[in-house]
Structure 1
Amino acid sequence: MSDIAEVPVDEQERPLPSPPQPEKSALTDGPILRTLLSLAWPNVIGLSAGTCVVIAETSYIGRLGVESLAAMALVFPCVILMMTMSGGAMGGAVASAIARALGAGDRERAGTLAAHALLIGISFGLVFMVGMLVFGPRLLELLGGRGNVLTQAIAYTQVFFGGAVLPWLLNTMAGVLRGTGNMKLPSLLMLNSAVWQILLGGTLGLGLGPVPQFGMRGVAAGALMAYTANIGVMSWYLFSGRARVVPKLRGLRIQWAMFFDILKVGAIACFSPLQSVLTISIFTHMLAKFGTAILAGYGVGARLEFLLTSIAFSFGIACVPMVGMAIGAGCVARARRIAWIAGVTAFVAVGAPACLVAIFPDLWVNIFTDNVAVRAASHQYLSTVGPFYAFFGLATTMYFSSQGAAKVIGPVLAQTARLIYSAACGWWLSTHDATAQSFFWLAASSMVMLGLLSCFSVVLTRWGPRGSTAVIRPALSTGD
């Protein structure tokens, strides 16, 4: 009698389930540069609109008085930190996870990832809300807030961070859409949000028409109202089935592997904006000893950096779904080509206007001031640092490309190296009575260092699997 167990005929003839097949699209198969540019231009418009909001808010907050301007300057680093964490770091991680699942042809997984991403966004928003409401006043006091400036800063914090879940949820949804390759809707909503933030924030803050003046609380409330409207539009689009991915909330079973797939990128990536804010704070603190004119001149240059960051981020965000889908489809070589093409493109796109301003600084400085001392300091800063902003664009695309590949630790460590370098060299310059020009050169060299180290991290990091194992399906047999 044969010792081989008999297999029912219907099971022998039942076909084995085929693995998901990579989806064909321009992101996985199209020409790289053309696809990159088509994804990047909507981001340029959307992120530039965010820059306009900062300029507009500075304008109408200035009408509330000098103390209100100082209060906004006090709160601004905390706001920027949360927005870059939710949009760039965690939002990029969400886009990466979605893109890798779609690249592998697994829409079921992409929908489950989207649902878990929303839970992550809500959780992080609650953490920021509780943290800033409980510890925010003390933090603002440690940052130098006093008197009425501190009071107004706390008022803004209580409203804006009281609704911290809203920007986190909005940026998470945008990350889901960007992971599918849809850059236009998130960018259009960013533009829409910018318009409503300016209108509502100005109306509520200044008390235009029949609306009473709410001051800093009104400015914060205007931003939250704009976010709420956009969340409604994005929710309708996602859950109506119009997107390539529909978050699977009904009957959702929590899967820790899904959380890990997002957080293994996002949690590490969050250290990048944190370190960036610390680096800027260190430079600001070191330059403050040279007086108001030098500090104001640096501030004018920093505004240019904010604008150029929008361009760099536009190409970086476009990298995430392209690299992620290539990795998901097993096309590691294409993923690396995308990273390098994007890096060169951002290097030129950021470097060209920066060099133009370095050669003709009045093109930028005339927008902000006519003070002779401030203009001289601005000219000095821009002519020194301007030509090296291109390396910042290069570093940004390496960071986002690494997010797409789920290998982000290298660029984050590059930011760590820049932070340590800036702090150590800044301390040495401070103890040797260096001039402001020396600190400007330190800022320039730190950008070069960041760009080169970010590139080296991509070169040295393995993006593909460590080894490929052939999948062998068992053959059914009826005898020895």
Structure 2
Amino acid sequence: METATETHVTLPRQPLDGESPRTLYGRLLKLAVPIMAGNFVHTLYNMADTWFLGKLSREALAAPSIAFNIIMLLTVFGGAFASAGTTLMAQAKGKGDSDKINFYLGQMASLLLITAGSLTVIGLLLAKPLLALLQVPAEVYEYTLVYMRIMMLEIPLMFVAFILGGALQATGNSFTPFKIQLVTVTLNIILDPLLIFGLGPIPALGVAGAAWATVFSRAVSAVIAVRLLLSGRYGIRLQARHMRLRRDSVLLLAKIGLPSSFGHAISTLGFTVMQGAINSFGTAVIAAAGVGNRIIGLFNMPAMGFSQATATLVGQSLGARNIPKARLVVKQSLLTILIFITIAMVLTFFFGASLVRFFVDDAETIQHGVAQFRIVSLSVIFFALFNVLNGAFQGGGDTVPVMANNIIRLWGLRVPLIYLLCFGLAWGPVGIWWSMFWSNLVVTAIAYYLYRTGRWAHKINPDRI
């Protein structure tokens, strides 16, 4: 098998293969809506988690917010390799090559399982040094350490979900992963109050209970995922003969996955540094940022769903050598998200106080949360469009722009602006929110320029997949 070349390949322009724009948009919605719904219910779980922990104390509420960026830093490589596998399987689907779909499924699965085991060990060993590096306040240190150590056990279980979700999404089935996620999140929400507050013989575990609820729920979803992967249902089957790693396929997965994973890892490290700056302003700002991220994350779910759906349909279109169809998918996604996210951000701008008060009844935290929404809301519109454009790059296997833009967004703009505005100009926490605004605006403009060049549509030759 030959690896994909980086030289530009001239693909003939095609009509939409007899498919009308309306039909194509219907396929986009059919793929995007279950992804959005899955992300939505997962965010609802995060919000429920936030609500329950907020009833304990603001210190308990701050712990998951601090641990989140570290966990994301460790898991970003798994997500990127899964996205690379999805890209290759989607292009194989566009070519009509079912054996190649199962081949890349096996290669992706082996690579992810090896990565998951390694990351779990690394996370357990480095938990204390990382928290020290973040200057975690003493009053939340123990909460965060306990939460992080338990959540490290979730990583292999999470990666199993990546394997199934990536394979099914590549073939155009995003509803089955949604159903599994719905079961997982429902179980998680049921377990949360039982393990956090205790009931009868069940002891109150506090912050640790929230982490264990997540691990138990993920374990259930992992069992379901493994059974489906081995069953051959839905046109995919995980087979041992495809799981023996081959040098050429690993290089191809790495070629697509590593740039975006490196960019996400570097940017997540930037978020970790950003969290350190947030931590320096005390528990109220930490809690406000955590609640704000949860709420904005909820409203940004459609953009993430359309980004993944865009990557899949762009991949299938390019696999079938149909660039006009790929471009139309991107255009439809951008317009849909622009309308939705604008409406959502109007709500956060004008009703920020009520949204924060729902989670925590602390006057100082509410004050900081309102300030965040008043500044950040507009920039989230740009960030949503940025996510969809990244979906186009991912679907074409051109992940270098994703890497570059993520690095620029955090390290070229946001982190320097935080230290300039917060500490150099003494703006305080408000400087954090303004740094988010400008970084999102600038990288979206860069991403759109790179999309207009069309390089992403010629990155991979379908004949060499």
Global fold match (TM > 0.5) = yes
Per-residue deviation at 1:291? 6.2
- Report whether the alignment pairs 1:50 with 2:18: no
Partner deviation per Cα, 1:376-431 (whole Å, 9 max, x = no partner): 44333322221221111111111122111100111221121112112223333332
CA–CA distance in 2 between the matches of 1:211 and 1:324? 48
Q: 1:261 to 1:340 in 2, by over 3 A?
A: farther
Per-residue deviation at 1:270? 1.6
| Residue of structure 1 aligned with 2:53, choices 41, 61, 64 | 61
The answer for the alignment partner of 2:165 in structure 1 is: 174
The answer for the alignment partner of 2:306 in structure 1 is: 315
The answer for the alignment partner of 1:93 in structure 2 is: 84
| Superposition map of 1:65-144 within 5 A | 67-82=59-74, 85-87=77-79, 89-144=80-135
- Report whether the alignment pairs 1:33 with 2:25: yes
The answer for the alignment partner of 1:235 in structure 2 is: 226
Per-residue deviation at 1:336? 2.3
The answer for the alignment partner of 1:333 in structure 2 is: 324
Give the AA of the match of 1:207.
G
Contact 2:81-2:108 at 8 Å conserved across structures: no
Q: 1:291 to 1:61 in 2, by over 3 A?
A: closer
CA–CA distance in 2 between the matches of 1:99 and 1:26? 20
Q: 1:218 to 1:326 in 2, by over 3 A?
A: same
With the length of structure 1 as denominator, give the TM-score of the two structures.
Answer: 0.83
Which runs of at least 4 in structure 1 moved beyond 6 Å after TM superposition? Answer: 24-30, 466-470
The DSSP-based 3-state class of the residue aligned with 1:210 is: coil
Partner deviation per Cα, 1:171-219 (whole Å, 9 max, x = no partner): 2221111111111011111111111122234323433232234444443
Per-residue deviation at 1:233? 1.9
| Superposition map of 1:195-210 within 5 A | 195-210=186-201
Q: 1:362 to 1:226 in 2, by over 3 A?
A: same
Q: 1:185 to 1:149 in 2, by over 3 A?
A: same
Per-residue deviation at 1:120? 1.2
The answer for the alignment partner of 2:438 in structure 1 is: 445
CA–CA distance in 1 between the matches of 2:233 and 2:126? 41
The answer for the alignment partner of 1:258 in structure 2 is: 249
Calculate the aligned-residue CA RMSD, in Å.
Answer: 3.2
Identity %: 23
Partner deviation per Cα, 1:58-85 (whole Å, 9 max, x = no partner): 3333455555444433322223444555
Q: 1:257 to 1:25 in 2, by over 3 A?
A: farther
Unaligned 5+ residue runs, structure 2?
A: 1-15
| Superposition map of 1:74-473 within 5 A | 74-82=66-74, 85-87=77-79, 89-145=80-136, 149-250=140-241, 252-286=243-277, 296-369=287-360, 371-419=362-410, 420-429=412-421, 430-434=423-427, 437=430, 439-465=432-458
Give the AA of the match of 1:444.
F
Give the AA of the match of 1:405.
G
Contact 1:27-1:325 at 8 Å conserved across structures: no
Question: Which one has the largest radius of gyration?
Answer: 1
Per-residue deviation at 1:456? 1.7
Give the AA of the match of 2:174.
M
Moved more, 251-260 or 403-412: 251-260
Higher relative contact order (CA 8 A, sep 6+): 2
CA–CA distance in 2 between the matches of 1:268 and 1:404? 14
Q: 1:454 to 1:157 in 2, by over 3 A?
A: same
Give the AA of the match of 1:455.
Y
Unaligned 5+ residue runs, structure 1?
A: 1-23, 471-480
Q: 1:124 to 1:382 in 2, by over 3 A?
A: same
Give the AA of the match of 2:333.
A
Give the AA of the match of 2:212.
A
Contact 2:134-2:275 at 8 Å conserved across structures: no
Partner deviation per Cα, 1:102-131 (whole Å, 9 max, x = no partner): 111111111110011111110111121110
CA–CA distance in 1 between the matches of 2:18 and 2:116? 34
